[in-house]
Structure formats: structure tokens, C-alpha cells
Structure 1
Amino acid sequence: MNTTRDLLKIGLVANLFEWYEFGIYGYLAGIVGQIFFSPGDSISSLIQGFAVFAIGYLARLLGSIFFGFAGDWAGRGRALKISLIMMAAPTVLIGFLPTYNTVGVLAPVLLLVLRLVQGFAMGGELPLNGCYVFEASPAHHRSVLCSMVMVSIALGMLLASLVANLLFWYFDRETIVQWAWRLPFLLSIPLTFFIIAMRRAIHDFPVPSTKLEGRSIATSCAVLKKPMLTAVSIMSFATVFGFVLTIWLPSYLNHFLNYPPRLAQLTNTLTLIALVVFKLASGYMAHRLGYQRLVKIGLIMTILFIFPLWFRLQTLSFSHALMTQLLMALLAGSVSGILMEILASQFPSSGRSLGMNLAYTLPTVLLGSTSPLILTLMINKTGLLLFPAFYILFFGLLALPGALSLSAKSPEFPAGRL
């Protein structure tokens, strides 16, 4: 049986590794593009780096389907342990890869192969974690414990941002390109041992007797279709907003608004610290107000204020940029902090693992991983610096009907297994 301490450990730590790697690649995308592809200007290198970022995530969909069925058939805990181990090796190996100057076109090929393997394993990790914590938690702690799963994303990103900050503060760009870029990836070695030790806290429990055993993927998806539409629409908004704010914004400030890399990364680090607080607060508020009410408030406020906030970024002031990012983190955190509870609550226990995996992974693959590339290309082509605000607004409006339709009753709330 899991104790509350175990669930806190699983919720906070299990995803930290994934999002550290995810964040460090995003923050170093320009460097990665420069050293793994043929020489070009800084924008071309950034686009190439984000292209591999996006392509690597296409494997997440296959991994999500695999681990979704595995979670419903074999047990949430067993599937979660497998996904944690599978994604560890590629991150470490990226730090040892030869560059384009050494092996030519083989360099981007090797990078892409590792990203595909890693993407497959990552397809099940976070939604499986959320499903596990949701079902193992007692009702009176569920909202807060589920928020811990999302807090772990911010913590992983924060660790990545801190490491990137140190990299840019202590090394010049030439040194980073020559060898220092490897250091953040090699830091994954001790993180891997930490994750392996944490796996001991994951105890499996029986899969519901009405599991999706014997059903085809098409039949299972048909059963989950109605709740899937609501879950995917809300997840799409949270994914786009989160990726833009925490992954892509430092590149935007640096390459399009000409902020020094150190200042762009510093505002991002401070924003991630605030995001941890806002996500925790959203879990507490969801327990008090209900996640249904909180997601509606967060969506409506984002729709109303995203343009004024993005316009404020254009003032080219460090203090304005920081304050604007903190306000956006408040809006994003009010929804993303309760995502696992929202997703888990939409699906019956018999198909919850598959439902959560698909609802989480589809927007992540199709929208999240491609957003940095799309936004960079569109601004480079059109010169419209406010385009990201249009992008976020569109997905906010798309999610609003689903959020407004959420009811207080959700299918098959478990009583908790503590």
C-alpha cells in the first residue's frame, strides 16, 4: 500500500527527469541546431533544432497507446516502472553524440533516433503517473496530490532552466558549442540513479475487473470518444500555453526582441519558480472550489488578458518582461495545476489509463512539440510579433465549450487505496 509520503514522492519525482530533459533540449535548441546540422544563421539553427524537437515527439503517440493499454491490462504501477527505465538511456547518450563537424549527416540521424526512442517511452510516463496518483489518493487529498504531478513538470523545467542559466553565465557561446553543451545532458546520469531508487515506492494495485481486455484500439477509442473531446480540448489549450511560456519564450525574447540570452533565461527561471507556487495553489483551490469552476475562471481570464500581456512584452524592459511572464504563469498555472484531476475525472476506471494517455499525448504531439517550430517560422515569415497571442487565444476559445460543460459529477471516482 502507498502512504501519502510515497504518493508525494511519486507525484513529484517521477516526471522530473522527463521534463528536465524536455526543458534542457528546448533551452539549447539553437545550440543543438548549430552543432548537429550544417552551418547556417542563428534563426535557421533554431528552426532545425526545434524540428528535431517536434519529430522526436511523434513517437510519443505510439508509446502512449502502448502504455495506455499496458496500464489498463497489466496495472498502472508496472507500466509506469517500465516507462521510467526506458527513457533514461537516450538522454544520457545524447551527451556523448558526435557533432556534425565530426561525422557529418550521421550526427542529426543519431540525434533523431535517440529522440524517437525517448519519445516512445515518454508517451506513457506523465499520464500514467497522474492516473496512478489519482486512483491511489484518498478523496480529501486527491486535488492536492494530483497537482503535485503537474508541479513536477515545473520543477523539472526549473532544474533545466537553472542548469541552462549556469551554462550561459559561466561559459561563452564558443565554449558551449565546442564541448560545454554536453554537461546538461550528462547530468542525467545521477538523475537516472535517483529515479531507479524512487521506483521502489511504486506499488501496484489490482486493475478494475471491467478493463478494456480484448477490445481493439478502435473499439476502445469509440467507448472513450465523448469524454475524450472535452479532455483533449482543455489539454490542447494548456499544452500550447505551457509550451509557449516555459519552452519557447526565452528564444522569443532572445532572437526576436534582442534580449541578452542570460536575461531571457533568468526571467524564465523566475517564472518557473512562480509556476510551481501557482500550480500548488490551484490544487488547493480545486479542493475548495472544485476543479470545474477553477478551469473556467482560468480560461476566461486568459482569453481576456493574453493580448494586453503579450503587448506588454514588446516594451523591451527586463522588469516588464518579468512581471508579464509572472502574470501569464498565474493564468497558465490555474489550469495546468489541475490537469491530471481534470483528465482522470473524465474517464471510467476501466479505460482511464488509455483515455488519459491519449488525451494527454495527442495535444502534446500535435500541438505542444510543434508550437516552438510553428511560432518561430510564422514570426520569421510575417514579422508579426503578436502572433503567439493569437495562437494562445485560438486554443483558449476552442477549450471554453468543453470547460463550461464540465459537471460536478465525474465517472467512477475511486475511494482511494491508502
Structure 2
Amino acid sequence: MLNLDDLYKARYVLSKILRHTDLVHAPKLNPESDIYLKPENLQITGSFKVRGAYYKVSQLSDEEKKKGVIACSAGNHAQGVALGATSNGIKSIICLPEGAPISKVEATRRLGAEICLVPGVYDDAYKRALQLRDEHGYAFVHPFNDDHVIAGQGTIGLELLDQLPDIEAVVVPIGGGGLISGVAYAIKSLKPDVKVYGVQAAGAPSMYQSIHDNQPVTLGSVATVADGIAVKTPGDLTYEICQKYVDDIALVSEDEICAAILRLIEEEKMVAEGAGAVSVAAAMFNKVPIKGKKTVCLVSGGNIDVNILNRVINRGLDKDGRICTLAMELDDKPGQLLEVIEVLASLGANVLSVHHERGVYGQNINACELHVRLETRNHEHVDAIKEGLQKKGFKLK
């Protein structure tokens, strides 16, 4: 059973390898709250996962270390296990979902692990890892449903209480539940008045659903940009700890996650992956009751695939009303496009692209269709542009 001694022991072991992550004050993220960030995206390996993984590997018996270790992961746990194993001269095999970001796969390989890519999502990689464990006798390092792993993650809770003694709330991402279990256990054991809120992606609400159904549930499928928390089934250990110590769990949409990633880049000069940004999304969009509270949002990782970063940023801009696409029907006669552009220019919109098409099926035979993509300031600016175009007689779709 988990106890505080485990967390203090883990803190001692990890003090030799961890990077110290200072809190970052970020009041602009939600002016109604006093927000701080715990930037575990800046941690060695780019994620908090190294805490639990390294500590678990350090506690294996000599016999287990000789046989080697195996783990499954969407990417971040993989790097933590690989680092822990390689640092201790232990063989490691990591099963990853085939769709894991290439950057995470290659980072894991560079840390000395043997890679096994498995079709499907995290849960499919988990089943393959168990199969290989049984066949070869490897020690299995679970990414969240393990007392040593939870104790390692719980060192973050100890740090938060040291770094911000008057903390009132902490917002934590949830996938399988290892991080929030450790953090909630540490904080509630030492300062029970502090609120602990979890956040999941709406496309992967396994712990949220489990808590509401009063039993662990398995989702039929998961789909989210936050690949690090795309878990179908939470752990039984983590479920019990969350049920006992977590005050509430919120869900955030894909657009909200993308907006949070963008805001962290622009306002805090900080790169977070989807899983790492869900806590910030919950704070930005008031998904958790932190108004007036001194709150820490845990930015759990920064290993985002750069190939999707542009798409994420554009979606975040859309969510913020800073990019919009307008479609309208125009009379097919000279000067119509010029009139549209004059309205846009007078209202301060920057035109990014224009698509003008005749002969659209179902359209007035004497009309054409215009799609224009704009750079705008915010949603109020978009509304003003729409109103200006309509006053000029243009029919928006």
C-alpha cells in the first residue's frame, strides 16, 4: 500500500537525476484566478513520466534487473523507462502504439531501448507487453497502475507544497491516473484543504466515466490530440486513489486543448503537448472552480510532434477567433470581389487566402461563391466583419 515514506524515499532517489522545475507565475491564463505552472515539460526526457519510471526501475531486485524490463507507452513513459534502464545497465524493451509520434519513438530508441511497435492504441501495446513479459520473464514497468510508479509521480505533490505553501488548488492531467494519484495522495495527506482537480480529453474520458459510474470502465475507443492521455481503461489502484482523494474531474474539447497549447506558446514561451496542456485548458475555459484561488496547473509534458504542431496552432487560432473562414454568395458581375475586399480592409482584417468559384451545384445560375480566410483579432472582430459585409448586402453562408 502507498504511504508517505514511499514518496520521501522516491524523492531522495530521484534527486540524483531530476531537473528542478520551478513554478512559473502565469496570471494571464485566467485573470479571475492566480495561476502558476509546474513545467514538467522541461523535465529531463520532456515529461514527468521519468519520475515514476526511474523510481520503479531502481527498486527492482537484482534478479529482475538481470532479465531486463519491458513497458508499454504512448511515448513519455517509454523514455523514462529507457533512461532508467540504460542508466542502471539494464536491457529494456518498449511496446508503443504504431501511431505514437515519431519524435517520441526515436527519442526512446536513442535512450537505449529496443522498440516494438504495435497496431492500435495504448491498450493494444499493453497487451503485447504482457505477452512478451510472460514469454521471456521480463520485469514489467506499468505506466500508472503501480505503487512505486505512483510514488515517483507523487514527488511532484511534495514539491508543490514546498514551492507554494499557500497553494489552494492544483489541476492535473489524467490518462491512466498515475500522476494525479501520486499528486493527490501527497497533497491530501499533508494539506487536505487543497483542492485537487483532474482533467481528461473529452475524446478519452476513461477515469471521468469510471468515477461517475462508481467502477472502472473500459471505453470502446479513444481519439484525441492529447495522445499521452489516450487511455481506454484506468488502473484499479489509480481508480481507488482518485475516488478517495480527487475532488472532481473535468473534460476539455480538442479545440480547447489546441487553444491552450497556443496560449502557452504565445504568453509563456512554453511548448506543451496535448496531454500537458489539458490542465491549462481547464483553467482557461473555467472547467474547474478555481476563481480567486492560488492554483497550480501541472504542464505534464512537452513532447509534441512538430509535424502536427502547425495544425494544432491553426486550430487554436480558430478557437480564439484569430483566424476565420467566411463563405458568401456573390452576383457574378465585375467589381463584387473588390467590394468585399474593401469592406475587409476597412475593418482591419488581413486576407490569407481567397477561393472564387462559378457554377456551384444548387446555386443561382447568375451567382458565384467566395471563400475567404482571414486573420482577425478575436471573436468580436469576426462578428464586426460579418455585420459589415451583411450591411453591404452580401449573403453569408
TM-score surpassing 0.5? no
Question: Which of the five TM-score ranges fits, normalised by the shorter chain?
Answer: under 0.3
Per chain length, whose mean CA-contact separation is higher, i.e. which structure has more relative contact order (CA < 8 Å, sep 6+)?
1
Normalised TM-score (structure 2)? 0.24
Give the number of the structure whose residues are more often helix, by fraction: 1
Give the number of the structure whose residues are more often strand, by fraction: 2
